[in-house]
Structures are given as C-alpha cells and as structure tokens.
Structure 1
Amino acid sequence: MVIAFGVSWACWGTAIGLGGPATPGTPTYTPFLLGAFGPLAGALVIRIRRKRRGEPVPAHAVRFHPAALLQAPLLMLAASGAVLAAAALGHAAGDTTLSWSDAQDVMKDMGGPAAFLVSMIISGPLSEEPGWRGTAYPRMRATMGRFQIALILGVIWAVWHLPLFFIDGTVQSDLGLATPSGVLFAVGNIPMAMLVTCAYERAGILASIAVHFAVNTTMVLLNVHTPATQALITGCQILLITLLLLTGRRTQDTAKL
C-alpha cells in the first residue's frame, strides 16, 4: 500500500504541479499515466520479495486456468451490460441523453479508437488489478471475509483516486470533488471492488482486468456524470454481484458433489 500510494501520488502530484489537461501530447499526460501504475509497482515488489524468500503463493490466490479465456469475456459483457442497463433506465427517466456522436468525440480526443482502447486497458485495469486483486486480496482473504475486504479495499481505492480530482481533464475532475457526483464516485468504489472481486474469484486476474476495463470504458463512452445515473449503475452492479455470488456458490456446490 505504501508503494502503491507513494508512486501514484508522487506522479499525480507532479501532474498537478505542471497544470494543464491530462490529454495525450501535453506534459501533464505522462506523470498522469505513470501514476496509475502504483498498485502494479507495489505488486511487483511483493512478488519479487516472496520469490527471493521462497515463500509459498497465498492460499487464496486464483491461478490462471484455461476456463478464464471463456469466462473473462462473458464477465466483461455482463459488467458492461449493467452500466448500459443503468444508462438506459436513466435515459428513459429523462436523466441523460445517450449519443454515439459523444462517444466518437471521446475516442477522437484520445487519438482514435485504437489509442482510446489501449489507454483504457492500460490506465486502470492493467495497472491496478495485479495490485488490488492479484496481490492485496489473497493476503487479506486469509483473515477476512470477501465483503469486509470489498469495503476496506473500496475505501482505500476511493482515497487512492483523490489526487485525480485536481488534475484537469480527468473523469474525476469533471465530476468534481465536493459534488453529489464526486461523492457517488467515491461510494461506487465499494460495489466496484466487490464486482471485480467476484470476477477474480471466478477466473483470476484476467477476469478482474476484463471487468474493470468494461466498466470504465462503457462509463467513459456514455459520459456518465449525473448522480441519478451513477446511483442506477451502483444498483445494477449490486444486482449483478448478487447473481454472480449465487451462481458461484451453486457451481462450487456442484463441484463438491
């Protein structure tokens, strides 16, 4: 945690000091992007130390298995579907307008669809999940339940994101810190932590990366920023979490039989 926060906040502090928007081609963009790799840096240090000391892999670590190649895309679609369902409900209630042209503008600002997708998978899913789920979660699971871990990691996750509210051009900056949208973003880290945890338990780090990517990308493309739609997304995610937990237990019980 010290390494994750130290690396991330040092980079983001530099971005704040430089000023300007965190968009490709600006001086602020590089430290902004590097800051996302704090959790990955912490995970690598822990893994290297574990191997040097000859310590075993934590009991609750989920190893890669071929089934993950099938489950990860399905979980990704389910996670994206939850966001889309919430946005559709919000649109039906008159809260937000869904526009493909807005999504195209977002991708254009990021350098095109390919650059946008690469940025979305690197800055967030790939740079964070090996740390939060792949390293912290298995070690915490040895003494805590998954709901307790989701609450703790969700709060840690929200605090970790704090400097991003002060960097122009970020999603967090657009939401605003002392606003209902900013508060809902922070609160939403808890169900999001539980959702990616469910994915990790089912199919390992590949699945948690896929789910994290799906949620982030869908929300950015839909330009989700209103409190009502954010609350609907949290509700839909809780429903999806419940479904994953119920079917997960059923699968485990069947395996035992």
Structure 2
Amino acid sequence: MKTVPNLRAAAIYAAGFSLTALLFSATAMLLVGMAAGFTGTTAPPISLLAAGVAGPTLAAILFARLFRRERLSPNTGLPSWKLLLLPFGYGLAALLGAKASGATVVVPSITDIALAFTLQLLVVALLEEIGWRGHLVPVLAARLAPIAVALLVALAWFFWHLPKFGIGPLFVAMLAIGGLANSILLTRLLYARGGGLVGCIVLHASFNTAETVIDPNATSMPAQYGAFAAVIAVSVVAAAIAWHRNRDWFHARPR
C-alpha cells in the first residue's frame, strides 16, 4: 500500500469535506436568518446554532452519495458508563482554571448547566460528530494510519471553525491545540471498546459544556480564557496518555 498517494488523496478529500461543511453551515445560517426576516421575527438562537453546526452532517450526506469510498467501520457497541464522568471532570477543570485567573467567577445554576449539556449533546456534538467521526474519520482510516487520520481531521476541523478566527489570535491558537488533542482522543475513542460514535458525541459535548460552568455575561474574559485553557490542558494530557498507551495502534498501517 503506497502511503504518499493515499496521503495526498486523503488530504484533498479532507480539505474538500471541510470546505463543503463550512459552506453548508454558512448557508444554513443565512437561510434561517432570511426565513426569520421574511416573517418579521428574530431567528431563535437554538435555530441559528443548529444551522451553524449542521454543516458536517450535511457534508457527510453529500460526500457519502457522491464518493462511495471504502470505510473502516467504527465500534458500534454501547459506550462505557465511565464516559458519563466526562462532563464533571471537564467542568471541574474549567472552574479551577477560571478561579486560577484571580478574577471573580460566577457559576450558573445546575439547571442551566444541565440544559447546556443537553443542548450540546443533542444538537452541537451530534451534528458535528456525524460528519467528522461518523464519516470523515472512517473514510480516511481505510487508507492511512490512525495518527495521520487524527492530524488531517484536526486540520479540517480547525478550518471549519474559520468564522471564529476573528475572536483573536490567542483563541485561535488555543482552538488549534484543543482541536488536535481532541482529534487524537476522538479517533481512538471511535474504535475503542466502550467508545464508538456515541462515546465521541459524549466527549465532544462534555468538552463544550465545560465552558458553560461559568457565566460569560458576569465573568471577566481572563477567567473565561483560564477555563478554556484548563479544559484544553485536560484534553492534551488525555491525548498524550492515549497515544502513549496505544502507540502501535496509532501508527499501524490501515487494514
């Protein structure tokens, strides 16, 4: 099996998928906004959020129909109950990171955090993971070693977040580091016993929800960055451990 041609083709496929997902997300948000404008109302935030994250799923549907590529099937078993601890672990890390900034930290109610996790789980993480781990990773995993797949998908995932680049260079740098770490974790989890696509959705939602354990409207920006940095640090450490324990798997030639 020739690695270089596979890598080139995989990179083109990943780049095309990322661009298509970005275009679909932007178009979906535009359509939701236009529909609200025609009716003289304001688009509900949840509608805009769902439209914004629908791009990867829509791209997966399109690419699956246009390019009938061989796929390496992920684990389809039920995820481990231990994954239910992820929201608490990431949330605690975010809270400690925010407090470490020295700024005043305001914590929302448990009900608000639970609602945020539900939204992340059933909308954001679900619609993203169907595309990234449900389609792109299995297609690339049939041609490349898992570590190469994780790196390519991290890059594609990073550029799909292009609209957020305007937040600032520090955020973009943190986004790149966090995306790479989570891509390694999620690639392994997709094929691990007790993981699978559902497990990836839980992990993704847990990571995102961690940022909601502090109230962004009542907490300073340094505290918010402290929370984000702490959550990323957890993923980086977890990714390093996952890679170290599964080096042979990550660098194995595709089956």
TM-score of the pair, normalised by structure 2:
0.69
2:59 alignment partner, one of 27, 31, 42: 42
1:88 alignment partner, one of 96, 113, 138: 96
Which residue pairs with 2:143 in the alignment?
Answer: 143
Which residue pairs with 2:13 in the alignment?
Answer: none
Structure 1 residue 231, shift from structure 2 partner: 2.8
Which residue pairs with 1:235 in the alignment?
Answer: 233
Q: Which amino acid aligns with 1:149?
A: V
Which residue pairs with 1:214 in the alignment?
Answer: 206
Question: What is the alpha-carbon distance in structure 1 between the residues aligned to residue 248 and residue 106 of structure 2?
Answer: 39
Which residue pairs with 2:154 in the alignment?
Answer: 154
Deviation track 1:128-157 (CA, whole Å, cap 9, x = no partner) reads 111101110122123333333333222222
Structure 1 residue 80, shift from structure 2 partner: 4.6
Q: Is the 8 A contact 1:86 1:233 kept in 2?
A: yes
Going from structure 1 to structure 2, the CA distance change for 1:3 and 1:250 (only over 3 Å counts) comes to closer
Q: Is the 8 A contact 2:75 2:196 kept in 1?
A: yes
Q: Which amino acid aligns with 1:207?
A: G
Going from structure 1 to structure 2, the CA distance change for 1:198 and 1:106 (only over 3 Å counts) comes to same
Going from structure 1 to structure 2, the CA distance change for 1:19 and 1:106 (only over 3 Å counts) comes to farther
Which residue pairs with 1:200 in the alignment?
Answer: 190
Which residue pairs with 1:26 in the alignment?
Answer: 42
> Is 1:62 equivalent to 2:74 in the alignment?
yes
Structure 1 residue 76, shift from structure 2 partner: 4.4
> Is 1:189 equivalent to 2:179 in the alignment?
yes
Q: Is the 8 A contact 1:181 1:230 kept in 2?
A: no
Q: Is the 8 A contact 1:3 1:42 kept in 2?
A: yes
Deviation track 1:91-123 (CA, whole Å, cap 9, x = no partner) reads 2x34455543x355955xxxxx54x44422233
Structure 1 residue 75, shift from structure 2 partner: 2.9
- What percent of counterpart residues are identical? 20
Structure 2, unaligned runs of 5 or more: 1-16, 250-255
TM-score of the pair, normalised by structure 1:
0.68
Moved more, 116-125 or 223-232: 223-232
Moved more, 210-219 or 232-241: 232-241
Which residue pairs with 2:7 in the alignment?
Answer: none
Structure 1 residue 223, shift from structure 2 partner: 4.8
The aligned length equals 221
Structure 1, unaligned runs of 5 or more: 108-112, 166-171, 252-257
Which residue pairs with 2:3 in the alignment?
Answer: none
| Cα root mean square deviation, aligned | 3.6
